[in-house]
Amino acid sequence: MASRIERDPSADYRRLHAAYQQSLRYAEDVRRLYHQMQRAICQSLLGLANALEAKDSYTRGHSERVAALGRRVASALGLAPSLVDVVGQAGLLHDIGKIGVPEAILRKPGPLSPEEWHVMRAHPAIGAQIVAPFEFFEGAARAIRHHHERWDGSGYPDGLAREAIPLEARIVAVVDVFDALTSARSYRPALDRDAACAMLRQEAGHTLDETVVAALLGVIELDDR
């Protein structure tokens, strides 16, 4: 009589469990590599943004401040952590498209001619194109493209208004204005924080999203406590 080979169920279970553990380790490796790659690309793009800022001492540190404050405003508005990251990326890279704008226009001390404005106004779309090839910057690319749209529809490049403007872009827009106002420019000194906040309040509901302005003012107030 042929003997039956008994299978050991606990051995099957151990093999299955080992295979499962192995697949978890692979998934973790892939996840880690993905984040490393994302960080490396972000750092390369940040290098480009820093190179851009180095051309103009008045904007030095601007992108990193917009990213840091933008993240805090996004959190205050209750955005999901992944969207807070999008705001941070877009804050860092929002003006990267200025790489495509000639230095003579970027550094011009006087007012720009209509033709020069035309070139300058291309920077959000150029910036979005620069980051577009990276799939994980999809949200950031959208926020970069729309960071000069205005709540009342008077901005560029697409003249979007109100909620049609992505929220991440509305956040970058408000923080960008605040940081620009509180930084010295070649044509004016820096405003103090209270004066800058007063200007934001004036623009709230007109060129800037009121809700985002309120969130920024709340974040700034927290710093005083």
Question: Do 172 and 71 contact (CB within 8 A), yes or no?
Answer: no
98 catalytically annotated: yes
Side-chain half-sphere CA neighbours of 216 within 13 A: 30
Tokens read off for 25: 């380790």
Total residues at interface with Fe ion (CB under 5 A): 1
Instruction: Write out the binding residues for Fe ion, residues 82-141 only, by CB under 5 A.
Output: 95
Of 94, 98, 146, 150, the catalytic one is 98
CB of 91 to Fe ion, least distance (A): 11
Based on CB atoms, which residue is closest to Fe ion, 85 or 149? 149
The Cα 222–Cα 224 span in angstroms is 5
Rounded to whole angstroms, what are the CA distances from 101 to 42, 74, 92, 176?
Answer: 21, 29, 18, 19
Tokens read off for 195: 């004066």
CB of 210 to Fe ion, least distance (A): 21
CB of 14 to Fe ion, least distance (A): 59
Based on CB atoms, which residue is closest to Fe ion, 6 or 187? 187
Q: What is the number of the residue whose Cβ is closest to Fe ion?
A: 95
Based on CB atoms, which residue is closest to Fe ion, 85 or 95? 95
Residue type, 184: A
3-class secondary structure, 204: strand
CB of 215 to Fe ion, least distance (A): 20
Q: Which residues bind Fe ion (CB under 5 A)?
A: 95
Give catalytic residues, as residue numbers.
98
